[in-house]
Amino acid sequence: MSDYVSKPINNQGLVDWSREEDQIWHDLVSRQLSLVNDSACKEYLRGLELLDLPVDRVPQLPEINRVLQRETGWAVEPVPALINFDRFFSLLADKKFPVATFLRSREEFDYLQEPDFFHEIFGHCAMLTNPEFARFTQTYGQLGRDADSKERVYLARLYWFTVEFGLVKEGEDFKIYGGGILSSPGETVYALNDQRPVREIFDIHTVLRTPYRIDIMQPAYFYLNNIEQLYQLSQEDLMSHVHRAMKAGLLSPLFEPKEKQHA
């Protein structure tokens, strides 16, 4: 259950953000902007430039939608703090990205398990201006909408290791396109510079079989050679990959079970 409640939208599609929330947004964006310029992929940085997000106040959804609609036909859709998988996949299939209209509190400034407005807007929306990424995300939504519960568990790993925690090569350097990394200052540094995580070239069969946890720094990242690979992936029979992975079963996790970590 979420400890947060999304703020209401008025009939103009606007949220009445408070001064304190404007200040939290300012502090979050200012901190992360100093990191992403050197860490994010070129597609993300171009998208961030197109969005032209305000720093001194929380942006409004219609401002985001004007850019997304023009670039890729996408839009952000206000939702409660948590939604079910049926709604999530249906929205993506309809080129609508779900955004919970709440901001984290000062007490959870550095880390929040559930996706807040900053994570969704700053982390994800820049990449949704990119046609290859946008097409992959829509295809993912269509597949998830029609999948059963067991298939969705495997599809979740594809989303996790691309849209949330994906890396891409630019020349000899790793860059970030995953919104889960780009909205986290700690993981932005960790994903590129720390010696502990494994960084493997993207292989769909491995990705679908790799366990993950949401409450730790990731022990493994998968990198693309270019963002166009996501579009190419969207043209494949992804469900045949899912069924093959289901038959093979999961790989051994690269982390300790949660109970053991807290023992």
Question: Which of 97, 168, 89, 101 has the alpha carbon at shortest distance from 126?
Answer: 97
CB 176 within 8 A of CB 133: no
Q: Is 164 annotated as a binding residue?
A: yes
Cα distance between residue 102 and residue 124, in whole Å: 16
Q: Is 26 annotated as a binding residue?
A: no
Cα distance between residue 76 and residue 96, in whole Å: 5
Q: Is 124 annotated as a binding residue?
A: yes
Task: Say what the alpha-carbon torsion angle 48, 50, 56, 62 is, to the nearest 10 degrees.
Answer: -110
> Pairing state of beta strands 167-170 and 220-224?
parallel
Annotated binding site: 119, 124, 164
Annotated binding site for Fe cation: 119, 124, 164
